[in-house]
Every structure is written in C-alpha cells, then in structure tokens.
Amino acid sequence: MTRVEVAIVGAGFGGLGMAIALRRAGRADFVVLERAASVGGTWRDNTYPGVACDVPSHLYGFQDHPNPNWSGVFARGEEIRGYLETVAERENLGDRLRLRSPVLSAEWDAAASVWLIETGGDSAGTIEAEVLVLACGRLTEPSIPDIAGLETFPGSLFHSSRWNHAADLDGARVALVGTGASAIQVLPELARVAAHVALFQRTPAWIVPRGAADYSDEDRRRFAEHPDALARLRADLYAEGEARFASRSGDAAASAAARASALAHLHGQVADPALRAALTPDYTFGCKRVLLSDDFYPAVSGDRVTLEPSALASVDGRSLTSADGTVHEADVLVLATGFASTRQPYADLVRGEDGVALAEHWSAGMTSFGSTVVSGFPNMFVLNGPNASLGHNSSVLMIEEQAAYAVRALTARDAIAEGVLRVAPAAERAYTDEIAAAARTTPWIAGGCRNWYVDDRSGRLTLLWPGTVDAFHDRLARADGSEFLAAAQPTRTDTNGTPVQGVPRGAS
C-alpha cells in the first residue's frame, strides 16, 4: 500500500496544474494517477481531423510555462498535447506520474482520516491519500444519443472524440451528427475527402470569424528572445478575453454588436437565403457556446454537403432518417454529439462521509463552495468541475486559480490537529445560491436554448462561472477559511456568501 499526502486524478491541464502548484509550494508528496498511457487529457483523446483550440494559443497555457513556438494564433490539438508532455518533463513529474492506472474507487476512511483509492492497470492496488484532487476534466466521456436502430448501422460508426483513423473516408457517403464545437472543425475536413456529407443539425450555432493566422519564424524568434514581448501579448489576449464576457453574458450593447458580427459572417459566406435561414439561430447570442470558424460556412455551402436541419431520429442499416422524415444513405456515421459534461462519470466512483457517493450528492446538479470544494467530502478538491468553466476566456486561468486556492487551504490544514478540512454545508448552499442569482437573467438561463452549461435535472447553471476571471480570482481570494467547519464542529449556520462581482448588470 502506498501512502501520500495528495493523490491527483487526471494528467490533463487540471492535474498538471495542481502538480505544478504543489511543487511551487514545496509539497512534493503527491502522485498523479492517469488511466491513459500518456498525459494530455482531452488533447490526447481528441485526434479528429481539424482538431484545434478556440482560445488563443498564448493564453492557453500555464503562466510559468510560456511557449514561444506555437505555430499560430490558435494551436492545433497535437501541439497542445506536445506542450503538456513538455511541461510534465520540465516539472520532472516522471516519478510522480502513474500512467495506465485508472481509479476504480475512492472512499473516505473516517477512522484514519484518509482517502482509500483503489487503482487498476499498471499500479493496481490501494493508495492512502490524506488529500484527493479530482482533475478528471469535463470532456472525457462521449455522450451517445439514444437513436432508434443505431446498432443496425453496418458501416464505420464512432464518436468524434474516439476517431477511427482506419475508417475509409475517401469517396464515402458520410453522415455527421451535430453542429457544435467539434463538428464545425470536422466538417470542412470531411468535405475535402468524402463523396458527400449529410450534416444533421438539431440547433444552429452562433459562429463568429476565427482569424486563424500563422506565426512566422520571425515571430517565434522574437517571442523566444524577448519574453517580455510574449508576456505583453498574453496580457493583451487576457484583456480581450475578459472584454468578451459582456457579449456572452447578456450585456445588451455588447451582445447586439456580437450578434451583428455573427450575422454578417453568415451572410458574407452563405449566399443561399434558404440555407442561411436554416443556419440562423433563434435564441439569444451567448445562450449556447459561441463558435469560431472561417471555413464551416463555405463547407456547408459546397456541393459535397447537405444540411439536414433536424436531428437524426432513427437508423435502419445504412438509411438514416431525420426528425422531419428525410432519409439519407451513409457508409460512415460520425457522432459529434458532445460529452457527459453536467453528470461527471467520476462522481460514481467517489464516496465521502457516511458512504455517500458524489453522484448522489450531485443528483440535482453539481454544487460546491468556490467551484472547488464539496461538503461531505473532506480533504477533497475538484478542478475544472462545478461552475469552473468559461465561455469567454481560457479555462487554464481558472485551473490555476483553483490550484492556488487548494494550496492555501492545505497550508491552513497544516495547523489543524485533526488534519481534516470539512466544507460547511451552509457555505456550499450559499455559494450555490450566489451562482444562481448571478446567472438568473443571463442568456445561459433565459436565452431560449438548451445548452450544456445547465443541468436539466434542476435547471441550474452548473458548469459555467457566471463572471470574469478577475471576479473568480477575487472570489477565491475572499475565502478566509470560514467555509470550513472547525475541527470540533459537526455543523455550522453561517454562510460566507458574498455576491459575485463582474457579473452582467441586473443579474444579481
């Protein structure tokens, strides 16, 4: 049996970010458990044609690990995976990484005040950890829609995040289900090689220009030789991202301007009025994730693509029938249907006090204090989980804020004789109410669409943080430890609820 202070689950941005924060704080007694054979998280798993980030590359990285060698304004998926592998090497995490080691269960042992973590694979056995950090990501398990007859499809059938590179796409009839972030990157690539692509669109997306310029060799040399120039670029990109919050969150003027830009983009690239109408959303700008693309509209307007403006309803062999009754024949079926984002699969594996599963605690949607700690689950931190996602800026910034908060909490834990941090239930309720109040009038709740930010069991915003990154930093900075129960207290009634700053006017 292995004993460590901290066990981190996941070796994507979240897990590596937590490991970096622990190392910087002089806390080297940790392991990183990863079920796959390498680091990289979603950027290791997603290898579909055209995969790339929609956050500027020089903002989509750790503060302490700037990368002057990004190929362009938006990094490709394999570049990001390579970046994370480089970070792991630079941080000398090799002796802390346990690859091919899936977590089978994690249970709080109240008598010993430790987490008992059962692992499989190369590190099969039990790990005792004083602290558990869940950095499992929110885009890990594909969401497969319940489509009648799907199992009868005889051709290649796969989810975009589990791309089958052996599938023969040249000259094939391909059906692509979905028009979200992955689908708009995949479609232009499919249209280049397939004989025909039938694109099933349940709901159109707001799409704005991407402007995906490449960096020149001279640019990369300048970034490498002048770190201050790279730091200024990151600061500028950060400010631009923070400014985007207004248009995504419902500010009337900013939303109108962004909507006009999206419509101009659509009209400039799609000449056919009927096709434009089918591609025009009928919900508020920002309600669903706003997408970036310069080549989706030209692809969907081309001769090789047919837009089916309704969902895939049923499959009968190679015949695919849409919700409006149209039949399309296909040799390959690609599901770009998203992920189990609001119902995290790892929640079934984790049991806290009194044997309560995290999935049960979150049965009406994810809740937390500070988007990071959860009542009933002592000495546990969740990165990139409840209300920690963004629709306007880099999620890596949020991860670094959460990791810094976790380190501060662990420092406070050092002074507790029992060594146990228990979140006050009232503090979690107050934070949950705070989020709900901030989100109430935003497009995510009131914008007239169904999105992946909101849990359909409660109607609460459970994935997005309804404020700026600056506001999140300030909110966690105001957490003074009163969110945790004193060692001798079984309960508490104060709430530590403080209004979210940086939210749209009228939202709280």
CATH 3.50.50.60-classified regions of the chain: 2-141+340-422, 150-206+251-335
Q: How far is CA 101 from the centre of its chain?
A: 22
Question: Band of the pLDDT at 488, cuts 50, 70, 90?
Answer: very low
At 141 the pLDDT is: 85
Amino acid present at 428: E
Query: Could you report the per-residue pLDDT of 86-98, keeping only the tens digit for each?
Result: 999 999 999 999 9
Mean pLDDT, residues 478-492? 72
- Cα separation, 53 vs 60, whole angstroms: 8
Q: Beta 30-33 vs 97-98: how paired, if at all?
A: parallel
Nearest-5° angle of CA 93, CA 99, CA 104?
A: 125
Dist CA 274 CA 197 (whole Å): 19
Phi, psi of 219 (to 5 degrees): -60, -50
Which H or E run includes 376? none
Phi, psi of 359 (to 5 degrees): -60, -35
Which range (88-97, 324-333, 341-350, 361-370) has the least confidence? 341-350
Calculate the CA 123 to chain-centre distance. Answer: 27
- In this predicted model, which residue has the larger pLDDT, 297 or 344? 297
Tokens 């159109």 label which residue? Answer: 204
Strand partners of residue 308 = 200
Dihedral pair phi/psi, residue 372, rounded to 5°: -135, -35
Percentage of the chain modeled with pLDDT above 90:
92
- The values of phi and psi at residue 43, to 5°, are -80, -10
Task: Give whole-number Cα distances, 244 to 53, 234, 264, 371, 468, in Å.
Answer: 17, 15, 18, 22, 9
Report the candidate in 484, 392, 454, 450 with the shortest Cα–Cα distance to residue 56: 392
Q: Give the tens place of pLDDT for each residue, 112-128.
A: 999 999 999 999 999 99
Q: Which own/partner pairs from 407-412 qualify as long-range (CB within 8 Å, at least 24 positions apart)?
A: 407/21, 407/22, 407/24, 407/25, 407/27, 409/373, 409/381, 409/481, 409/484, 410/6, 410/25, 410/27, 410/131, 411/25, 412/481, 412/484
Question: 3-class DSSP state for residue 133?
Answer: strand
Digit-coded pLDDT (tens) for 263-312: 999 999 999 999 999 999 999 999 999 999 999 999 999 999 999 999 99
Does the domain formed by 2-141+340-422 have CATH 3.40.50.300?
no
List, for residues 230-249, the tens digit of each pLDDT value: 999 999 999 999 999 999 99
The pLDDT value recorded for residue 341 is 78
Query: How is residue 309 written in tokens?
Result: 């403006």
Burial of 218 (0-12, 13-18, 19+ CB in 10 A): exposed
**Per-residue buried b or exposed e for 312-329, using 16+ beta carbons within 10 Å of the residue's own CB:** bbebeebebbbeeeeebe
* One-letter amino acid for residue 259 of the chain: R
Q: Kindly report the average pLDDT of the chain as a whole number.
A: 94
Write down the pLDDT at residue 423: 98
Say how far apart CA 506 and CA 439 lie, in whole Å.
Answer: 10
- Taking a C-beta distance cutoff of 8 angstroms, is the pair 14, 383 a contact? yes
% of the chain surpassing 70 pLDDT: 96
pLDDT recorded at residue 507: 34
pLDDT, residue 499, reads 43
pTM for the predicted model, two decimal places: 0.94
| Burial label, 143 (beta-carbon count in 10 A; 0-12, 13-18, 19+) | middle
Amino acid at 346: Y
Strands 350-351 and 156-159: unpaired
In DSSP notation, 467-496 reads: S-HHHHHHHHHT--STTBPPTT-S------
Stretch (H or E) spanning 306: strand 305-308
Per-residue HEC secondary structure of 452-467 comes to CCEECCCCEECCECCC
Mean pLDDT of 305-329: 98
Report pLDDT digits (tens) over 180-220: 999 999 999 999 999 999 999 999 999 999 998 999 999 99
In 272-394, which residue ranges form alpha helices assigned H by DSSP?
A: 273-278, 296-301, 358-361
Please tell me the distance from the alpha carbon of residue 443 to that of residue 338, in angstroms, as a whole number.
20
Terminal-residue alpha carbon distance, the chain? 49
- CA dist 380 and 386 (Å) reads 14
CATH of domain 150-206+251-335: 3.50.50.60
Higher pLDDT, 499 or 425: 425
pLDDT band at 353 (very low <50, low <70, confident <90, very high): very high
Q: What tens digit of pLDDT does each residue of 132-146 get?
A: 999 998 878 899 999
Per residue in 45-84, pLDDT (tens digit) is 999 999 999 999 999 999 999 999 999 999 999 999 999 9
- Per the DSSP assignment, residues forming a β-bridge with 114 are 109
pLDDT of residue 487: 52
Band of pLDDT at residue 500, cut at 50, 70 and 90: very low
